[in-house]
A and B are shown apart, each in its own frame.
Chain A
Amino acid sequence: MLNQILFAAALLITLGVFAFTANRYYKLFKLTRPAFPVRDFGKRFLLMLNVALGQTKMFRKPFTGAMHALVFWGFCVILIGSIEMVIDGLWGVERSLKVLGVLHDIIMASGDIFALIVAIAIVVFLGRRLFIHVKRFEGIEMKHISHLDAKVALSIILLLMLTLLGMNTSYVAHNTLLGEEVFGVYPVSQFFAQYFSGFSADTLHIHHEIHWWAHILLIFFFANLLPYSKHFHVFMSVPNVFLSRLEPLGKLPNMDSVTREVKLMMDPNTAFAAAPADAPIERFGVKDAEDASWKNYLDSLACTECGRCTSVCPANITGKKLSPRKIVMDLRARMKEKSKGLLKEGKTFDDGRSLIRDFISEEELWACTTCNACAQECPININHPTLIIDMRRYLVMEEGSAPGELKATFNNIENNGAPWQYSPQDRLVWAEGLEMNKI
């Protein structure tokens, strides 16, 4: 009974803290701008199965992709076991999902095998971070805290897997020793259990309790640590894929506020008509975190800083300052920095700083070729170029700021309908004297 009360209390605290965090994020999301209406649920569901559950984009890097896929699939299976542990903890029972019969055997067996696989993969990941120089883990945006963040999360996952295996092993050893039925199948722990045959039933029981509590409390702790680290990825990446932009990468979102203005300019009849009352006067483009869309912000929370985007960026490869990963991380960091004031005072809050310039320089923004390699590469469909263009929109339309040659290009387009300074009268020069061989 005491155990149940303790467990319920721990669960309550976990859910309470989590609700607080979720509410905070919800309010921040409400401050962001609209992106697109979420429709086509069937299409989205298939995309989620393909990209998130199928991990298809991860396999663009076959080795690490496979390792990550195994970890991900392992998490999915082990999650069911964690739900069983919560039921067990609340009702004071053991292996409650045994009512599922063979299905329970399958769940337990795959969870047990995956625990070992995930543990091995995590050791490989830690090894890559500690001993191998992986270029995409470096960069100006990769501060000490980012590396620490990664290592802490990996260590916690490793501990989770070890405690899970410890729990299963002592459970199997204990029940086997006493001749009691073992519910579920545990291929890996069965193997380990033979080495614990010399222990007494009491010792094995205590072992089991320690591992059980350590495992579940670590999950509770981890769940509440995640939203404050880059590993928020664990919660946000699947929703982020589900809520992907469905349009071709080449498409940019239209700015309807600009369309209204341009139509007004082009049609003299509407020149004196009042602007629609429901049209809010808002800044063109993105200057600060709250100007970004909810999708940009979700992207930034789902990013786990893997750096695949930056590793394929033509600007970054050739030594320019732009790093698509940094753009995403900066949005998250700026929103975090501004969140206290934003939540207190709303959108009018101003701390004299902004995403552009205090976090992202103009030099970075102008280096983008909009080639979409970053968006193509991102395993969870983060779209960096739309955010970069939105920041360019702010610079150009609000500040009139752009590299001199681009300003000249704008002038040319405006005055002679081409990015270069040629007369429209010369548009057919290419066709003069055109001949072809008769065949």
Chain B
Amino acid sequence: METVKINVPVMADLFAKGEKPEFLFWVGCAGAYDDRYKKVTRAFTKILTHLNVNYAVLGKEETCTGDPARRAGNEMLYQMQALQNIELFKAYEIKKVITICPHCYNIFKNDYPDLGAEFEVINYTDFLVEMMNNGKLKVDSKVFADSRITYHDPCYLGRANQKYDEPRKVINALTNNLVEMDRSKSFALCCGAGGGQMFKEAEKGNKEVFLERTEDALKTNPNVIATACPFCMTMMTDGLKYKNKEEEIKNYDIAELIVMSLGI
């Protein structure tokens, strides 16, 4: 198949040319550095390109939102990061930000306004649903039509921001077999990585949280575990490896499922 090169637009370059893109695509640290999750960043970039979205990334100017620091109690560090980001967004006159990471989404949406942020933040699942509703994103392929897909709710989309339906709308457009875990939506069990846990060993206990959650997923006997968060992805992928299931069951982000369905 013929391929085309994607030149990812960078905010500073566009700004120098006097252009102002409609959206800032906020990649996030996991999106930039985590080897597995970089594929999700690439997948979402393909979707943006496919949809001819007028966007840019910050590239080397992007920095941590401060979320891991904030949830771990380092308010000072969080606010330094946040105020720096808010200044940068103001300088580039950024009005709309799309995020793939729910932690970035949550802190932009709920915490930054207290420090004077005035931009709109859009989670990519909302964006995908909107694009499907307005007919721009048509996923009519049958790639996943018969796959059993179970969806693990990230805490920071679900309980934190009440987004249970949007990711499911996207998955339901891809498959007829969305299977729910016993604990789902507001009852969903955390993957174990939130609140700074991603960056440290767990406290002493008798089990790892990600295994407890992987078992929830395995009980639905899925072909695919769909996630919508970089930390959840690390945890669920680890869980599948630990259970020796990584051959038969795949963990994909919702953006990757769309890309595979579209064949782009």
Give the interface of A toward B (CB within 8 A): 60, 247-252, 254-255, 258-259, 261-263, 265-266, 284-285, 312, 314-315, 317-322, 363, 366-373, 375-376, 385, 389, 391-397, 402-403, 405-406, 408-410, 413-414, 417-420, 422, 424-431, 433-439
Contact = CB atoms under 8 A, between A and B. Distances in A.
B172 to A, nearest CB: 22
A439 B4 CA distance: 10
B83 A266 contact: yes
11 contacts: A248-B162, A258-B79, A367-B203, A369-B155, A389-B73, A395-B73, A396-B72, A406-B72, A433-B5, A437-B2, A438-B1
A372 B161 CA distance: 11
Interface in B199-227: 199-209, 212-213
Contact of B200 (A321, A385, A403, A417): A403
Interface stretch (B124-132, B188-196, B250-258): B188-196
A413 B107 CA distance: 16
Nearest to A421: B33
Contact of B204 (A284, A320, A370): A320
A391 B33 CA distance: 31
Nearest to A433: B5
A250 B160 contact: yes
Contacts of A285: 73, 75
Interface string B81-123: 1011000000000000000000000100111001100000000
B159 A418 contact: no
B27 interface: yes
Given A420-B29, A436-B6, 12 more contacts: A255-B75, A314-B189, A318-B202, A318-B205, A389-B70, A393-B75, A397-B73, A409-B196, A413-B68, A418-B29, A437-B3, A438-B1
B83 A262 contact: yes
Contacts of A431: 6, 8, 42, 45, 57
A261 B110 CA distance: 21
Nearest to A250: B160
Please provide the 4 A-B residue pairs with the shortest distance between their CB atoms, ordered closest to farther.
A250-B160, A392-B73, A370-B195, A319-B206
Residue from A255, A371, A406, A409 with most neighbouring chain B CB atoms (10 Å) = A371
B50 interface: yes
Interface string B57-68: 101101110101
A249 B158 CA distance: 10
A250 B156 contact: yes
B209 A413 contact: no
A369 B192 contact: yes
A409 to B, nearest CB: 4
Interface in B140-197: 155-156, 159-162, 186-190, 192-197
A321 B203 contact: yes
A394 B75 CA distance: 10
B153 to A, nearest CB: 10
Contacts of B14: none
A312 B183 CA distance: 10
A372 B110 CA distance: 15
A252 B70 contact: yes
A379 to B, nearest CB: 13
Interface of B: 1-6, 8, 10, 27, 29, 31-33, 38, 41-42, 45-46, 49-50, 57, 59-60, 62-64, 66, 68-77, 79-81, 83-84, 106, 109-111, 114-115, 155-156, 159-162, 186-190, 192-209, 212-213, 262-264
Contacts of A389: 70-71, 73
A360 to B, nearest CB: 13
Nearest to A259: B79
A265 B33 CA distance: 29
A291 to B, nearest CB: 14
A367 B31 CA distance: 25
Contacts of A391: 73
Nearest to B41: A430
Contact of A248 (B72, B110, B201): B110
A128 B68 CA distance: 42
A318 B68 CA distance: 22
Contacts of A321: 203-204
A281 to B, nearest CB: 16
Contact of B159 (A372, A422, A430): A372
A285 B76 CA distance: 12
B263 A439 contact: yes
Contact of A369 (B27, B190, B264): B190
A413 B69 contact: yes
B195 A435 contact: no
B72 A409 contact: yes
Contacts of B60: 424-425, 427-428
B32 A418 contact: yes
Contacts of A372: 155, 159-160
B19 to A, nearest CB: 18
B257 to A, nearest CB: 16
Nearest to B5: A435
A435 B115 contact: no
B202 A367 contact: yes
A419 B68 contact: yes
A315 B50 contact: no
Contacts of A422: 32-33
Nearest to B10: A428
B64 A371 contact: no
Residue from A385, A397, A406 with most neighbouring chain B CB atoms (10 Å) = A406
Nearest to B8: A431
Contacts of B70: 252, 389
Contacts of B4: 435-436, 438
Contacts of A426: 32-33
B75 A284 contact: yes
